[in-house]
Amino acid sequence: MGYFEAMQQSTKKRYRLAILPGDGIGPEVMEAALRVMERVGEAEGIAFEFEEYRIGGAAIDAYGEPLRDADLDRMRACDAALMAAIGGTRWDRGPAHLRPEAGLLKIRKGLGVFANLRPAKIFRELVGASRLKPEVASRVDLIVFRELTGGLYFGEPRGRTGAPPAREALNTMRYGESEVRRIAEMAFRAARLRRRRVTSVDKANVLEVSQLWREIVVETHRSFSDVELTHLYVDNAAMQLVRDPGQFDVILTENLFGDILSDLCAELVGSIGLMPSASLGAANPGLFEPVHGSAPDIAGKGLANPLAMILTAAMMFRHGLSLPRSAGWIESAVESALEGGARTTDLGGRMSTQEMTACVLKHLEGSVAKSHV
């Protein structure tokens, strides 16, 4: 994985990619990312074989289930999977196993991607778009390592029982030692490539599962004594992220806490439309998806910000395909577009999805040209 070892540029010339456009604005932002990827492929002299699959609401409409087993099996043979947002209110009334989110949990578990990386770094040009004071927002540069296949979202037993007025529901938060240790090791290795600080977030004052989490993180840290380790309860971590985000480098936490805190980080950088993510495992292809939702209220209107999806493609190039130069080109093009004043409506501008994509593509040409000088 590109984040955890010295990585050379891949010499492979063809990549097989699973493409999941999802629901709502998903197909629009996916189209933007594919245009950028195809241009990068031309510059690198590589070809992509795109295999499109349905997931979430689109799969429910087509097949009656949020993700087919046969499609998941075929994805395992791909080099990486790129997915846009899923879901929408029109599918919210079905049973839990037939809702779009069940497809999301299934693909994460099925691909064995247990580590979700969510970087949050402020673009200099967007400091004013953050909810924080400029002098505070300018210090945002962190990454959340969220454990992705355990905790409340997957724990058993779970379910609902009874009828009014005696309805009950149960979810189970559980973690095994190996689950905690493997993501802790990833976070510590990543910190060695950054500012060598890890903040482990839990609720060890009241939850036994968090007490085990902290115990194993401390044990794992003994092999990474060059990295500073601190602990925060999740409620205090949320407060500290707003008060002084600059104190954070790598945040290590479990599934539910990571889900919540990483969305909070989106407000720190100015818009959830800027937040990419990568989900990685040990052997299967990585899963790459933007943090934002499907935004059905603006679907088809050309108002979606494509930058999170484009930056997610950059994460796929770096962490999934071992093409760090390609990732750098894309990230530089996005930054140059923002430096030039490009803004979609969520950033206070008037650019459409297509206009922002065209702007990134224009600056991508400059990124490629500079690398060939």
Structure tokens at 325: 């130069």
Q: Which of 153, 175, 249, 346 is catalytic?
A: 153
Q: Which of 23, 71, 202, 259 is catalytic?
A: 259
**Residue 13 is a catalytic residue:** no
24 in Cβ contact with 85 (< 8 Å): yes
Distance (Å, rounded) from C-alpha 235 to C-alpha 276?
24
> Computed over its alpha carbons, how large is the radius of gyration of the chain?
20
Among candidates 334, 279, 336, which has minimal Cα distance to 105?
A: 279
Q: Which of 235, 244, 297, 370 is catalytic?
A: 235
Among candidates 245, 165, 177, 257, which has minimal Cα distance to 215?
A: 177
Among candidates 311, 295, 292, which has minimal Cα distance to 303?
A: 295
Distance (Å, rounded) from C-alpha 225 to C-alpha 26?
43
Among candidates 258, 318, 257, which has minimal Cα distance to 286?
A: 318
**Residue 153 is a catalytic residue:** yes
- The amino acid that residue 331 corresponds to is E
Cis amide leading into 165 (omega within 30): yes
Q: Which of 23, 71, 202, 203 is catalytic?
A: 203
**Residue 203 is a catalytic residue:** yes
372: which residues sit within 8 A by CB, 6+ positions away? none
**Residue 79 is a catalytic residue:** no
196 in Cβ contact with 252 (< 8 Å): no
Say which DSSP state 299 is in: T
**Residue 73 is a catalytic residue:** no
Among candidates 233, 229, 205, which has minimal Cα distance to 216?
A: 229
Cis amide leading into 157 (omega within 30): yes
- Known catalytic residues are 153, 203, 235, 259, 263
